[in-house]
Structure 1
Amino acid sequence: MSTTSPFPPIADYAFLSNCHTGALVAPDGSIDWLCVPAFDSPSAFGNLLDREAGSFRFGPFGINSPTARTYVPGTNVLTTTWHTPGGWLLVHDALTMGPRTGPDHVTPHTRPPADDDADHVLVRLVECLEGSVEVELRCEPAFDYGREPAKWTLVDKEGHVAEATGSGQTFRLSTDMSIGLEGSSARARHTLSVGEKAYCALSWAEEFAAPVDVDDAVERIDRTVRFWRRWLARARIPDHPLRHPLERAALTIKGLTYMPTGATVAALTTSLPETPGGERNWDYRYTWMRDTTFTLQALHFLNLDWEADEFMQFVADLEPDQDGGLQIMYGIDGRRDLTESTRDELSGYEGAKPVRLGNGAFNQRQNDVYGAVLDSLLLHTRRNQHLPRRLWPLVKSQAEGALATWREPDQGIWEARGAPQHYVSSKLMEWVALDRAAKIAAIREDLELEKTWSEAAEEIRADILAHGVSDRGVLRQHYDTDALDASTLLAAIFGFLPGTDERLKNTVDAIATELTEHGFVLRYVTGETDDGLTGKEGTFLICSFWLVSALSVVGEREQATDLLERLLRIASPLGLYAEEFEVDRSRHLGNFPQAFSHLALIEAAARIILADRLEELSL
């Protein structure tokens, strides 16, 4: 990272969530990303993508480098410790959670509401630990991704409450400090002595409900701590050295879940670059069907069956295409149209342009979708010993879609914007689709469909082994190349070939030795792949976690453990992962935090833990 860049490293951001939206907090205490009221709403604080697109800082005046930042253990509540010339300060930041008091009219639910839900309030609390510290509040929203600076008005005579309005949005800032309005900014300064506290809160709740005083602010944060800890207590996380990274990954996945519908966003952000200064910038605030099976695997491994069921009900509610298939992605409210546009007036993170809103890949043909959906349906059915009646039509439509399309080329798992190809991973996932559909049919004792789908699965397997394996016995990227692709590691994860098969071993070995940079895995070699884009990209973290899993499957346990330990060492200071890791400069790239990276971590860690437990039993 250049010392002259005004943008903090991606991995230095802290992630807050209320399971409706999320915020990123920079090391200097500034909220640099927050979309309200939902993950995919326009940003009100967008400094992440342009240093004039809105920020909200609450911390010591004149000091920008904190002493320590950590999550309250077992939560998504952030604490930051500051050492100033005059003393020591502690800051708590939380998107608060509280008991549900009635219907949520801000972000209405389609799933059964839980006992606790989002307050729709960001609460920030400071406490002077020693000496005296001057505290600064500086709130400068810029609505609609920075297009419209806030118009502020004071609400009360004492000057402790003000409202910001712009682009059809309004939220309320309340604090026990005295607010001054300066153009598009609301500011306050106050000196705290040892033992004293101050707070501020930003509310977009109904009637702008917010803390009424500092004690109320403390209680809301404490309540949020209790919410996250109670939720985590439901998870089954083994007593193992991998327990802590599993807990953080679980909290991150829950934090990326949109509670009203059960959907999970792929990441909190849009347009954080995969290539520094380049054009590989995408909007990830949507739900990919590809993630379904990895989400279900992770949630069921962690014993989080309620979340798994919510997610499956979201999938069941989705409107299919005319042929009965599902799009590759949907909005978190289930909407189909994710038309892509750009905001050319924004600088982009470190000059990476364009900044994109929406995702043009939503209407691509990607034949791997059928397998992802059906594998998750089989997981769900086996876990619950029951397939809900409303899900059986989805099984049939996805199986029929796989039957109709498996011979066709597509854009592949990586959504390449080049010419369609016969990607091996797509064929593989269509084998998964029909193999899993046959198993579900067997559970329903539909012997005719079981036979039809099972035979089709075997036909696909034979086609892949005939056309998708190179002369040296390695799975190809697609039928017309010998190039490697990390997505073929899915052959190990989904049981396409047994761990003893030489072709699988050859593939895993080739990817580990030829498709890596310093041991971390690339998706593919960009110069060998027509993805319709320019520029080099970093190593993909999910692919490195997939390699951990694949190495475990083929019996390379020591190598798998070593790679997982390396991956854990490159986590962000707060234990989070973006999409990519740029090895040369040891930094995270791409949207952040990335659900797929954390899901793959859970899957890889589960395999390591299982192997360790089996070894213990054999002693």
Structure 2
Amino acid sequence: MCLPRPDSPSVFASILDRSAGNFRFGPAGISVPAGRRYLPGTLVIETTWRTRTGWLIVRDALCIGPWYHGQRRSGTHRRPPTDYEAEHILLRTAKCVVGSVELSLDCQPAFDYGRDAAKWEYSSPGYGEAIATGGDGDIPLRLVTDLRVGFEGPGAHATTTLRQGERAYAALAWPRSQYSAGKEFWAEHPPPADVDEAFQRIERTADFWREWINHGEFPEHPWQSYLQRSALTLKGLTYSPTGALLAAPTTSLPETIGGERNWDYRYTWIRDGTFMLWGLYTLGFDREANDFFYFIADVAAEKQDLQIMYGISGEHELTEGTLDHLTGYEGSAPVRVGNAAYAQRQHDVWGAVLDSVYLHTKSRDYMPEVVWPILKKAVESAIENWKKPDRGIWEVRGEPQHFVSSKLMCWVACERGARLAELHG
């Protein structure tokens, strides 16, 4: 888990190294759940646990609530705000449904990709609130729970026994940056104060996702639930302040176990973004389509040509490095952050953009005027470069080669560009 943005340094990364931070909220001594699912129509995860003495249901959600920037503007939003906003809270609730279960909480952040151990201190008179801090530049984490927390080294821990019908919760909150961690920010969107509010927040977040999915157009079909799950996944990969669409929320998960092709995908690829966009507006989610159009307009402003990828706030340079202190997923090293492919030439990018814009414009009879100069430049670039070698959609890191797919997509750029010119007038 990377905070405060998906491309920030991690605080929980045990999937890449056991020492890189973890956060567990579940039955003591049990590591394999009886079942796990998303609640239908939501991005709320429900995990069912069976122990020798009882059954426990745990729900996890990244909380979404009403727009809360009432006193001052958000420092990150460029797109028009909606009625809802991420609350910067990871909320976990537990309920014993049969028998009794020993519940444990183990929160051990490791800031800056595992480089900085957490330092804990209580932030209230009781045992239910604590703040973890790391090194310079690391954001603080605020842990709020109805369990009695104690500290052991870099970890915060608690245990309790839940009996049938009893509930508990743990909430982890963080600021937008290290500069917005004052009392004013914590008061602006506080974590749940008790278990009743925690369960209400989970339901409110679930209701948000169900309301969002209801705006889509899904056919009555046995595969309808799979379409909805795909749409929710794409929405979950959206960085709403800018409209960027992440290729994935992860870095350094290997293409093959033990291999070296372990790339950082926490960025926006223009090609991938346009295909994701195609899926969203085909299902009726126009707002996300328009936000991504304006993200493209922002990153391409005053630039000679489109890059193949950008940071989620429009960063043009994504310098790649390795984290040699991390062992990698099942020993698959190196662990990489950043992606050197940002400087590559991939000639299919122009066709991908123009094809997506054409389909959207044709189906909605609308194209943001600000996008037109970018499309014109994309067609000109395709005409100028189609005979030249490039790195292709496989992003080869050797010498440029001639790829049929790249040349085909240059043709697509020209053909879709001609159609768009007719529609544009």
TM-score range, shorter chain: over 0.9
SS of the aligned residue for 2:11 comes to strand
Equivalents in 1 of 2:302, 2:368: separation in Å? 22
Q: Which of 80, 96, 99 is residue 112 of structure 1 equivalent to?
A: 80
Matches of 1:216 and 1:140 in 2, distance apart? 25
Q: Which residue of the partner structure matches residue 282 of structure 2? A: 301
Distance in 2 of aligned mates of 1:355 and 1:226 = 37
> What is the alpha-carbon distance in structure 2 between the residues aligned to residue 107 and residue 279 of structure 1?
38
Q: Are residues 1:355 and 2:335 paired?
A: yes
Q: Deviations over 1:154-177 (max 9, x none)?
A: 111211100000132201001011
Gaps of 5+ in 1: 1-33, 446-619
For 1:243, the equivalent position in structure 2 comes to 224
Say if 1:299 and 1:305, in contact at 8 Å, map to a contact too.
Answer: yes
Contact 1:296/1:379 (<8 A) preserved: no
The residue identity in structure 1 corresponding to 2:56 is: L
The percent identity for this pair of structures is: 54
Preserved contact between residue 246 and residue 273 of structure 2 (Cα < 8 Å): no
Partner of 2:410: 430
Q: Distance in 2 between matches of 1:267 and 1:198?
A: 32
Q: How far 1:391 sits from its partner (Å)?
A: 1.2
Structure-to-structure mapping, 1:194-343, within 5 angstroms: 194-205=164-175, 206-207=185-186, 209-319=190-300, 322=303, 324-343=304-323
Secondary structure of the structure 2 residue equivalent to 1:44? coil
Question: Which residue in the other structure is 1:140 paired with?
Answer: 108
AA partner of residue 84 (structure 1) = T
Structure with bigger gyration radius: 1
Q: CA 1:313–1:116 in structure 2 vs 1: closer, same or farther (change >3 Å)?
A: same
**Residues 264 and 434 of structure 1, relative CA distance in 2, 3 Å threshold:** same
Distance in 2 between the 1:373 and 1:432 partners? Answer: 10
2:9 equivalent in structure 1: 42
In structure 1, what is the equivalent of residue 385 of structure 2? Answer: 405
* Contact 2:23–2:107 (8 Å) recurs in 1: yes
Separation in structure 2 between the aligned mates of residue 160 and residue 216 of structure 1, nearest angstrom: 15
Match status 1:95 vs 2:62: yes
Structure 1 residue 388 and structure 2 residue 368: aligned? yes
Deviation at 1:107, TM superposition (A): 6.4
| CA offset digits 1:10-69 (Å, max 9, x no partner) | xxxxxxxxxxxxxxxxxxxxxxxx111111011000101101100000011111111111
Q: Find the aligned partners of 1:444 and 1:113 in 2 and give their Cα distance.
A: 29
Per the alignment, do residues 355 and 106 of structure 1 end up closer, same or farther by CA in structure 2, a change over 3 Å counting? farther
Check if 1:173 corresponds to 2:143: yes
Structure 2 CA distance, aligned partners of 1:317 and 1:43?
27
Aligned residues: 411
Q: Is 1:371 equivalent to 2:339 in the alignment?
A: no
Superposed, 1:4-19 pairs within 5 Å as none
Q: Which residue number corresponds to residue 193 of structure 1?
A: 163
Q: Contact 2:300–2:374 at 8 Å: present in 1 too?
A: no
Cα distance change of structure 1 residues 339 and 320 upon mapping to structure 2, 3 Å threshold: farther
Q: Which residue number corresponds to residue 346 of structure 1? A: 326
Q: Which amino acid in the other structure matches residue 182 of structure 1?
A: E
Mean CA deviation greater in 73-82 or 97-106: 97-106
Shift in Å, 1:101: 2.0
Shift of 1:105: 6.9
Instruction: Mark the CA change 1:105 to 1:387 in structure 2 (over 3 Å): closer, same or farther.
Output: closer
Structure with the largest fraction of helix? 1
Distance in 1, Cα, partners of 2:242 & 2:285: 16
Amino acid across the alignment from 1:371: G
What is the CA distance between 1:368 and its match in structure 2?
0.7
Q: Secondary structure at the match of 2:69?
A: coil
Aligned counterparts of 2:4 and 2:309: Cα–Cα separation in 1:
21
Q: Which residue of structure 1 lines up, in the alignment, with residue 182 of structure 2?
A: none
Q: What amino acid does structure 1 have at the position aligned with 2:206? A: V
**Offset of residue 293 of structure 1:** 3.0
RMSD, matched Cα: 1.4
Alpha-carbon distance change, 441 to 107 in structure 1, aligned in 2, over 3 angstroms: same
Structure 1 residues 457-468: aligned runs within 5 Å = none
Specify the code of the residue in structure 2 equivalent to 1:423: F
Gaps of 5+ in 2: 176-184
Distance 1:392 1:278 in 2: 42
What's the secondary structure of 1:226's corresponding residue? helix
TM-score, length of structure 2 as denominator length: 0.94
Report the counterpart of residue 24 of structure 2 in structure 1: 57
Mapped contact 2:30–2:51 kept (Cα < 8 A): yes
Q: Quickly say closer, same or farther: Cα 1:154–1:279, change in 2 above 3 A.
A: same
Runs of 4+ in 1 over 6 A off after TM superposition: 103-107
Separation (CA, whole Å) in 1 of partners of 2:276 and 2:99? 48
- How far does the alpha carbon of each residue in 1:147-203 deviate from its partner, in whole angstroms, 9 at most, with x for none? 111010111121110000013220100101101011100000011111111111000
- Per the TM alignment, residue 387 of structure 1 is displaced from its structure 2 partner at its CA by 2.4
Contact 2:321–2:338 at 8 Å: present in 1 too? yes
- Once the two structures are superposed, the pairs formed by residues 489-504 of structure 1 within 5 Å of their partners are none
- CA shift, 1:383, in A, is 2.8
SS of residue paired to 2:300 = coil
